[in-house]
Amino acid sequence: MFTIEHEFDATVITLVDDGQAPLQEDVVINSFAECVTVEQYDPRTDAVVRITLSPEQQRDLAAALDLPEGAYQLRKD
Digit-coded pLDDT (tens) for 23-74: 999 999 999 989 999 999 999 999 999 999 987 777 666 667 778 888 876 6
Please state the domain count of the chain.
1
Phi-psi region of 64 (alpha: psi -120 to 50; beta: other; left: phi over 0): alpha
* 76 or 9, higher pLDDT: 9
In a domain, 75, yes or no: no
Q: Which residue has the higher pLDDT, 22 or 64?
A: 22
What was the pLDDT predicted at 61? 62
Q: Note whether residue 49 is domain-resident.
A: yes
Residue 21 forms part of a structural domain = yes
Q: Which has more pLDDT, 11 or 72? A: 11
Q: Is the pTM of this model over 0.85?
A: no
Domain with 33, as residue range(s), is 2-68
| DSSP secondary structure of the chain | -EEEEE-SS-EEEEE---SSSSPPPPEEEEE-SS-EEEEEEETTTTEEEEEEE-HHHHGGGHHHHTSPSEEE-PPP-
Domain-embedded: residue 77: no
Give me the pLDDT at residue 27, please.
97
